[in-house]
Amino acid sequence: MMSRTRGGFLVVGILLPLWSFPAGAEEPAEQGTPAPQIDYVAKLNELVRKGSDESQNAEPFYQKAFDLCVEPPGEVEITVWPTELPEDQRGILRKWVEANSEALAQLRLGTEKPSYWFQYGPGRLLTKQHFSDMPKARLLTWALVLRAKFKAAEGQIQDAMDDALASCRLGVDMRKRPLLAEQLVGVAITACALRTECQILAHCHLDRSLLETMQNRLIQLAQDGNRSIDLKGEEFAVEDTVQGLYAKWLGGGVQENTRVFGRAIAALLSTQMKTSYGVDLSADQVYCSLCEHTPQETTQLIRRAYEYYHSVVSKTPFQWRKEVTDFEEKQTELIGGNPLLSVLAPDLPRLAEMSARCRAQRDGLITVLALLRYENDKGSLPAELEDLVPAGYLAEVPMDPYSEWPLVYRRTDGGFTLYSVAVDFRDNNGVHSAKWGAELRGGDYVFWPVQNQ
């Protein structure tokens, strides 16, 4: 949440409190200040896919769970298997999970509902009030996956998988929320759940029926969720931010810019941004951001840029490398060189990367389950992934988002290996990289056998 680089998609979340107001409060009126003309909260609420039967909505249960959430006593270790933790640390984590039993019960009830919708309240869209539940969603995910691992280690395999799949469902539901920061929390929750399911598979024996049930539920979750990041809500949020800035700082309109929004105010804002929020805009950049274009022109720049952003955000990393050239140059052109819009712009290459990794993890796990089912039924592993399709274990062979080929599958003496070639776009023969090959040495991301990280 503390990215401070140019184009960083989370800079917005820490920038806005500079000119935001408490939830439900009215912005201070200034003589001659025109009221914002567009209710972006209402427009955002129109994006939420609402159902007609409230009894089918997960939202009330999620909200109860967030209200009941108990903070951990310290750092939470969720990457390793419970039996590998020191006994005292394992005991602390178990007590924390038990302290969240009521919250987790409500969370599980929510994940059993077929729909999820809610409505945003008043206020600037990117203020903290709209994201207050996201840290609790992550904490409860950690508690839920820890409980799943404790259960699995004790032999309660079915209950463990139910908890792990419930956390995956929570991630899918969070990805349905229209604001970018919320969707990214959903991606993180889903990735955590998928890693946990892989660990349970690696440490426990699942019978044929449970393997098939798990695969089918993951496929259904994949069909229910968004395949890529949705930027429409973020577009409204940026327009809402800029509209609020013009209304607050520019008095009666752009004709009075030199009187109302002078260099002194720009310098003051610049200093506040740098010292308090880490947003590096000079006084000239702040001034130019708000004074070189009219509010209407700035809104048109935003819409023109987001039309392009929408067209490229769903591309895989391999497609970015092959098709999206000079992205930053194109972005600068679309926003007219406006420094503030540059800071508020989403970091699309990283968004595409995060979404692709999560999708690859999900497809990898579904494929691992299909391979284990095939081996269980036929006594041996298939020669190629393609053999799983006519046999009915997969609907299609999963593609690697880092190449133009499927995920890499090889039979080995002890079983099989399944991996993505990862961010160096090079097959490193299954040498695992926890950072998806981002190190200088490169590397692949191995789904199976399950790695420590």
Confidence of residue 49 (pLDDT cuts 50, 70, 90): confident
Cβ–Cβ < 8 Å for 428, 434: no
Cβ–Cβ < 8 Å for 295, 246: yes
Task: Indicate if the pLDDT at residue 251 is higher than 60.
Answer: no
The residue with tokens 């959430």 is 69
Q: What type of residue sits at position 122?
A: P
Cβ–Cβ < 8 Å for 212, 160: no
Report the percent of the chain where pLDDT is more than 90.
58
Confidence of residue 16 (pLDDT cuts 50, 70, 90): very low
As a whole number of angstroms, the distance between CA 94 and CA 201 comes to 21
- CB within 8 Å of 435: residues ≥ 6 apart: 443
pLDDT for the residue numbered 325? 82
Six-digit token string for 362: 């999900």
Six-digit token string for 67: 């209200």
Cβ contacts of 272-279, under 8 Å, gap ≥ 24: 272/18, 273/15, 273/18, 276/18, 277/4, 277/14, 277/15, 277/17, 277/18, 278/2, 278/4, 278/11, 278/14, 279/4, 279/11, 279/14, 279/15, 279/343
Q: Give mean pLDDT, residues 217-236.
A: 88
Q: Give mean pLDDT, residues 110-119.
A: 92
Task: Indicate if the pLDDT at residue 10 is higher than 90.
Answer: no
User: What mean pLDDT, rounded, does the chain reach?
Assistant: 85
Q: Give mean pLDDT, residues 209-233.
A: 90
As a whole number of angstroms, the distance between CA 306 and CA 177 comes to 18
Q: Give mean pLDDT, residues 406-422.
A: 96
Cβ–Cβ < 8 Å for 180, 126: no
**Strands of the sheet with 415-420, listed across from one edge:** 408-412, 415-420, 445-448
